[in-house]
Amino acid sequence: MPDIRLPIRTERLVLRRFEASDLDAYHAYHSLPETARFLPGEVKSYTQSMESVGKYANFVFEKEGDWICLAIEAADSPGLLGEVVLKWLPGYGQAEIGWSLAPEARGKGIAAEAARALLNLGFGELRFHRIDAKLDALNLASAALCERLGMRLESTKVERWHYKGRWATEVVYAILAEEWKSRQPD
Ligand SMILES: CC(C)(COP(=O)(O)OP(=O)(O)OC[C@H]1O[C@@H](n2cnc3c(N)ncnc32)[C@H](O)[C@@H]1OP(=O)(O)O)[C@@H](O)C(=O)NCCC(=O)NCCS
């Protein structure tokens, strides 16, 4: 894999490596039930947030199973707005994308703008062939984001997961490199 050149700049955002100083802002939204609702774990304790920020700050992306974890910041105002992640999946050319925003950053197209930049990286420099997103079917905000990105709904697996005391239906969205590239302006 080539080196990942950071930060990545978009129209309104900067995507950069996490720093220790992001901890309080990260914990502020990862300690909320509304953030944790559709994520695998429960709301994070401060110690768990410290572990996550430490792991994100030091990510390496060299082999299957590794994650790219990028802090999202407004270009004109420092401070953490959320994160986007890309996981290198087993199998040739396969990856999975994910996202979480602080509540005050939602509803502004920020996740979509950050995800587009990550898909550009994933299909560009990193040369993945296919990138998917796996969601709880009740996570309508994430499904709308996948649709906004042009990802295809590929499967619905009824009660595929059991978490947070209930059965959950998994939906998988995906997009191929050639499909992503054909959607970009020349
Ligand atoms: C999933 C999540 C990241 C989606 O965030 P989001 O802000 O809704 O996503 P987008 O960036 O696509 O923004 C879309 C919204 O911004 C609005 N918007 C405003 N300006 C916009 C712009 N310039 N471009 C695009 N959308 C814009 C859209 O109309 C849309 O609003 P709506 O939700 O009222 O229809 C967010 O809900 C979240 O962090 N959830 C908690 C964590 C989580 O569940 N993570 C995913 C687990 S699979």
Q: What is the pLDDT of residues 30-79, one digit of tens each?
A: 999 999 999 999 999 999 999 999 999 999 999 999 999 999 999 999 99
Residue 185 has pLDDT above 90, yes or no: no
Listed in sequence order, the residues at least 6 apart from 29 whose beta carbon sits closer than 8 Å to its beta carbon are: 35, 82, 100, 101, 102, 103
Lateral strand order in the sheet of 77-88: 8-9, 13-17, 67-74, 77-88, 94-101, 130-136, 166-176, 152-163
* Residue nearest atom 33 of ligand 1, based on CA coordinates: 107
Phi, psi of 6 (to 5 degrees): -120, 155
Cα of 2 vs centre of ligand 1, distance in Å, is 30
Q: What is the pTM of this model?
A: 0.97
pLDDT at 2: 73
pLDDT at 18: 98
Cα of 48 vs centre of ligand 1, distance in Å, is 25
Residues 99/85, Cβ–Cβ less than 8 Å: yes
pLDDT at 176: 98
Q: What is the mean pLDDT of residues 136-164?
A: 97
Yes or no: domain 8-183 corresponds to CATH 3.40.50.880? no
Report the C-alpha gap between 134 and 75 in whole angstroms.
29
pLDDT at 3: 77
Report the C-alpha gap between 150 and 172 in whole angstroms.
13
* Residue nearest atom 37 of ligand 1, based on CA coordinates: 141
* Residue nearest atom 5 of ligand 1, based on CA coordinates: 106
Cα of 92 vs centre of ligand 1, distance in Å, is 30
Residue 127 has pLDDT above 80, yes or no: yes
Which residue among 108, 113, 146, 149 has the greatest number of ligand 1 atoms within 8 angstroms of its CB, and so is best to mutate? 108
Percent of the chain with pLDDT over 70: 100
Report the C-alpha gap between 59 and 52 in whole angstroms.
10
